[in-house]
Chain A
Amino acid sequence: MNKTPLFKNLRFVAKELENKKISPTEITKYYLARLNELGPEYNSVITVTNERALRQAEVAEREIMSGVYRGTLHGIPFGAKDLLATDGGIPTTWGAEPFRHQTFPYNATVINKLCSSGAILVSKLAMIELAGGMGYRQPNASLTGPCKSPWDKNTWAGGSSSGSGSAVGTGLVPFAIGSETWGSILSPANNCGVSGLRPTFGRVSRYGAMALSWSLDKIGPLCLSADDCGIVLNEIAGPDPKDPSSSDKLYEYSVDSNQRKFKLAVLAGATTNIDEEVADSFKESLDTLSQFCEIEEINFPEYPYEAVTRTIMLAESGTIFEEFSSSGTAALLTAPEDKYGPYARTAVLAKDYLKALRLRDEISQKIDPIMSKYDAVCGPTKGTPASNLEDEFRGAIRGNAKDTLGALGNSVGLPAISVPNGFTKANLPTGIQFVGQVYAENSILNLANRFQQQTDWHLRHPAELLEEI
């Protein structure tokens, strides 16, 4: 291989593959070696799919050599959060000890779609056990141990799509798939210094994915840039008869060719009670954004956003995991708080859940006219940089600060993207999130693209990870 694909964007790698300057087998072996060598060091990998990957690479190689080129992801390896079902005897552990040997006879739709695009599954990636739905309060809440940030092995990769963020940030995969119920894509994107896209609810099929909360779960990509996120979303979005909640709306990623001015809103109090360095990064980002955005401060109507989202999540997960909870199997989970986490949610009354759903409908209808005025509403992705591996936290996404954007965005299913926007003095990345109107992924992707054209935070990588192995 003449040129290393490490930390190169998807368009570059795709061009190299299409022009036969590198081969799918070469690039697959390259990433398999990194996964096998560095994966255990960062606790970011559950299963390296060596044999399956090499078989897929051979097929891709034959196709490309014979002039059959399927598109941008053809021949490019990827990793998937280990809550996405994979066939062929590859375990799908949900990150949890009780499911260590679980297998499925089918692939999740998102896996099938990527493989149909010619992408090569090289790894099932680490995650917080049961996607964090049992109430974990520390990084060590996974059967593979606490997943580490590429930027400091003493700090946490974020969760629950921990391995997806860490593996992209450490250059173990060119891109990865994660999932978010509330914060699980944006949090690792923030902590690992990568770009993470949470699509609109229903945009990506969830068939074959572990359900944590039927009306909140979303699947999306974690990548090196916003543009890469758009390229991946283009392949995984779309209706799926196997997932009745998937939207009929078709999606096509398109990059703005004109240098238009964006309309951006900042939620009032966005930096209240957050870490000072995170706030500084955000203020600097607003200066950059002001070069190509009209920026306004806004308030959302008063609603108990966090209470609504949490009540829905607890009621739905309580039902989904009823059999699991009743069996006493929770005692086998890793984090002490996850061992008793499922039980209390029996205290969620049906009437409170139903009122939360009604409030969500009302919120959705009142928020949409506000969101329609802007390309995005922005705020710091997390209130703090990555925490130490031993630290407990109150909330995985905002620490002790309110998470209005996260609660609102996840409850009504708004798309959001987090991209890196600075570093703390301890060299830990910070992130900025752009939340858009439903189905307006292209608006937030183009806004984030433009931000990344003006900044180089997403092009920075830990020096020790640039060494070839």
Chain B
Amino acid sequence: MATGEVKGKATMKSNDHEREKEIMWDLVNLHFTNMISDDQVEKVKESIAGILTDANEIRSTTLDDSFPLLNSYQPFKGDANE
């Protein structure tokens, strides 16, 4: 990765949102194919569209570089195993 570049900046350049919806539907359908009834298919697709609308808002928001990257992980700090 080039140094000093695009750290925390907006990402995902593809604007083919329709194609992305189709791909996501395939993913959801792959996981839950036996559980989604025919009359629920369009509703699930609507929900996916909503999720992607939110995702696009998030992707197009530029993070302020003055804030640290997310890192909430801390190594285990309990009593050491003997």
The interface of chain A, by Cβ under 8 A from chain B, is 135, 303-304, 306-308, 310-311, 314, 325-326, 328, 330-331, 337, 339-341, 343-349, 351-352, 354-359, 361-362, 365-366
Asked whether A359 lies within 8 Å of B28 as measured between CB atoms, the reply is no
Report the Cα distance A219→B54, complex, angstroms: 27
Residues of A within 8 A of B48 (CB): 344, 347
Question: Is B6's CB within 8 Å of the partner chain A?
Answer: no
Asked whether A362 lies within 8 Å of B35 as measured between CB atoms, the reply is no
**Closest-CB distance, A308 to chain B (whole angstroms):** 7
Asked whether A339 lies within 8 Å of B40 as measured between CB atoms, the reply is yes
For the complex, count residues of B whose C-beta is within 8 A of A.
32
Residues of A within 8 A of B40 (CB): 339-340
Report the Cα distance A358→B31, complex, angstroms: 28
Residues of B within 8 A of A339 (CB): 40
Residues of B contacting A: mostly: helix
22 A-B contacts (beta carbon < 8 Å): A307-B53, A307-B58, A310-B54, A311-B58, A325-B35, A330-B35, A337-B43, A340-B40, A340-B47, A343-B28, A343-B47, A344-B44, A344-B51, A346-B28, A351-B11, A352-B55, A354-B70, A358-B8, A358-B69, A361-B67, A362-B63, A362-B64
Most chain B Cβ neighbours within 10 Å, of A135, A347, A349: A347
Encode B23-36 as 1/0 by CB contact (under 8 A) with A: 01001100110111
> Given A343-B36, A355-B63, are A348 and B55 also a contact pair (CB < 8 Å)?
yes
The interface of chain B, by Cβ under 8 A from chain A, is 8, 11, 24, 27-28, 31-32, 34-37, 40, 43-44, 47-48, 50-55, 57-59, 61, 63-64, 67-70
Asked whether A340 lies within 8 Å of B11 as measured between CB atoms, the reply is no
Asked whether A359 lies within 8 Å of B34 as measured between CB atoms, the reply is no
